[in-house]
Amino acid sequence: MSEEPLLIERRGDRITATLNRPAKRNAIDQDMIDALHALCAELEAEPRTLIITGGGTVFASGADIAQLRDRDAGDARKAINATAFIRINELPMPVIAAVSGYALGGGAELAYAADLRIASPTLKIGNPETGLGIMAAAGATWRLPEIVGSARASELLLTGRILDADEALAWGLVSSIHPADELLVAAHAMADRIAANDALATRHTKRALRAPRTQHPDIERELQAELFDSAEKHRRMTAFLERRRKAS
């Protein structure tokens, strides 16, 4: 298998990125972070849907502890993993995390950075950082409350509890569960549904979803105004009316 930290498959409307450190259970190290930054640069320049997967029985077991142990306060202030995950979250098009097996610590935070999360029945997800003398500091303390609510986020982060797939589904941390051998197929089916829609409308919807509450409703008004004047809106609505006319 390639020694590249990410295996990249490119299609016209999407990219699939497979975390590729199987001997280390896909622990997230500096090389993987660098590869994620390079991938983000590509997707910022040419927006496409991104699917992130672990490619096997583990999504990502966490950040690389051997590297974390040697990092100091200066490294913490660089927000090494957090910066990459913010960039992933802010990509123009949707990000889908297809998660099997362990997604712990930094691996969970990478999944939280996605717009959509689906899982296999083997999922084990959570943030045990406090047991290692650190905290979850790559997005979990502010993304997790937005996803599952403050009470459940507090329980996960303060106790280090690990959720299985059924619990993650019940809590709204993932949106669906699929057999492990069908998980990537399900992720591509989701990407197909995204691709069938107008790309600009999808990008604007994601932008509005990510905007702080203080920007609403103004942001919807401006983004919708741009879409109302688009040729694609006119084409799609005309096609819809034609289909309805023919069906009647």
Query: Domain map of the chain by residue range?
Result: 6-195, 197-247
Question: Is 112 in contact with 66 (CB distance < 8 Å)?
Answer: no
List the catalytic residues: 109, 129
Average confidence score pLDDT of the chain: 96
- Distance, CA of 65 to CA of 27 (rounded, Å): 8
What does the pLDDT look like over 155-200, one tens digit per residue? 999 999 999 999 999 999 999 999 999 999 999 999 999 999 999 9
**Cα-Cα-Cα-Cα dihedral sign, residues 140, 146, 149, 150:** positive
What does the pLDDT look like over 75-115, one tens digit per residue? 899 999 999 999 999 999 999 999 999 999 999 999 999 99
- Distance, CA of 131 to CA of 40 (rounded, Å): 31
| Per CATH, domain 6-195 is 3.30.450.20 | no
Question: Is 5 in contact with 21 (CB distance < 8 Å)?
Answer: yes
**Statement: residue 1 has pLDDT above 60:** no
Cis peptide upstream of residue 5 (ω within 30 degrees of 0): no
- Distance, CA of 97 to CA of 83 (rounded, Å): 18
Q: Residue 210: how many CB atoms within 10 A of its CB?
A: 12
